[in-house]
Structure 1
Amino acid sequence: MASYSQHTIESAPEASKPILQGIQKRLGFVPNLMATMAEAPVLVESYMTMMGIFDKTDLTPTEREIILMTNNRLNGCTYCMAAHTAVAKMTGVDPGVLEALRKGTPLADPKLEALRSFAILINEARGWASEDEVDALIAAGYTKQTVLEVIAGTALKVLSNYTTHIVHPPLDTAFEPMAWTAELAEE
């Protein structure tokens, strides 16, 4: 099987270098996933662009993380679960919500649980939501826009989750305290 390296700014393809420089400036380091994505400039640019766009939704940071972490868990992405646990903590996601997302258990807040359930549906049904299922999300207090934003978040996670399944980036030291496995979800 092909092995993939984590590029540095210096070793990255030319088109990836400015993207990695931007990540370094923003985060203070280049996470191994993005360093590996840099092998394909279109992938790292797509991922970073979509992340920036997804942050512009009308969703709160907690709601965005519900969509992203639900997809990470369903897709079995250990790297992304750890990374998004760190992001969720930095953006102030309630610890109870974060624990439930890591375990895949229902959320106590009915509105947030409706969002989590809809994110599960979109992932597992590959977007084939019925009118009743869409209406249930809207009845929980969300909008037609939210329905489409869940799809955007799911698409974003396809990029990172599928990449990690192929390239196996090592977990960054910064994310090690938040390491996650499917077995942890079953505890």
Structure 2
Amino acid sequence: MTDFTVHTIETAGESKPLLEDSQKAYGFVPNLHAVMAESPALLEAYKTINEIFGKTKLSETERQIIAMTNNRLNGCTYCMAAHTSIMQGAKVPEDVITALREGTPIADPKLEALRVYAEKVNVSRGWPEESDIEALLAAGYTKQTVFDVIVGTAYKVLSNYTNHIAQTPLDKPFAKNEWSPEA
């Protein structure tokens, strides 16, 4: 198996400024960013799309529903743990976090409609049925949301696939939320 480097700020080369920004933002350099530093384009794309995703009209909880749904479906153990920690810090309701980790329905019907739609987009590889779109709109979301789910899905493809290939080690701050697909 190919061994990928978990870079430090000192070894990051062209990615050094990006890792310095991560250090400032999180108080540490997440291993995901450290692995992505191998490709400055990948790390910049990931950070940029995350920033853009944050500019949507979706709430933090809604963005995390999209992210976690993709993380779970893609079997990304690193991102499941990291985003659980992010959600806890953002005060996302515990029942929502549990549902996302377990792949079970969310009690709030509007949030559940978003989870289901995000799942349909992922599973269909971007070919949801018209009825899937109609269900999301009927729940109170907009046509913009239909496309914002794609932004969130693309964001997670970058991180989930990187973690699969590099087998990114879990950071200590996320270890308490370790997750496995069998759980």
* CA drift at 1:5: 1.2
The ranges of structure 1 where at least 4 consecutive aligned residues each deviate by more than 2 angstroms after the TM superposition are none
Aligned match of 1:99? 98
- Percent identity, aligned pairs only, is 60
1:12 aligns with 2:12: yes
Aligned match of 2:182? 183
How far apart, in 2, do the equivalents of 1:138 and 1:57 lie? 17
Tell me the alpha carbon deviations over residues 116-169 of structure 1, each in whole angstroms, 9 at most, x when there is no partner: 000000000011112221111001000000000001000000000000000011
Superposition map of 1:59-78 within 5 A = 59-78=58-77
Calculate the aligned-residue CA RMSD, in Å. 0.7
How far apart, in 1, do the equivalents of 2:88 and 2:58 lie? 17
Tell me the alpha carbon deviations over residues 25-54 of structure 1, each in whole angstroms, 9 at most, x when there is no partner: 111000001100000000000001111111
Unaligned residue ranges in structure 2 (runs of 5+): none
Tell me the alpha carbon deviations over residues 85-139 of structure 1, each in whole angstroms, 9 at most, x when there is no partner: 0110111100000000000000101100000000000000011112221111001
* CA drift at 1:13: 2.0
Amino acid of the structure 2 residue aligned with 1:2: T
1:122 aligns with 2:121: yes
1:44 aligns with 2:47: no
How far apart, in 2, do the equivalents of 1:27 and 1:110 lie? 33
Aligned residues: 183
Q: What SS does structure 1 have at the residue aligned with 2:32?
A: helix
How far apart, in 2, do the equivalents of 1:41 and 1:81 lie? 24
Aligned match of 2:161? 162
Q: What SS does structure 1 have at the residue aligned with 2:110?
A: helix
TM-score of the pair, normalised by structure 1: 0.96
How far apart, in 2, do the equivalents of 1:96 and 1:78 lie? 20
How far apart, in 2, do the equivalents of 1:179 and 1:57 lie? 28
Aligned match of 1:54? 53
How far apart, in 2, do the equivalents of 1:74 and 1:131 lie? 21
Q: What SS does structure 2 have at the residue aligned with 1:183?
A: coil
TM-score of the pair, normalised by structure 2: 0.98
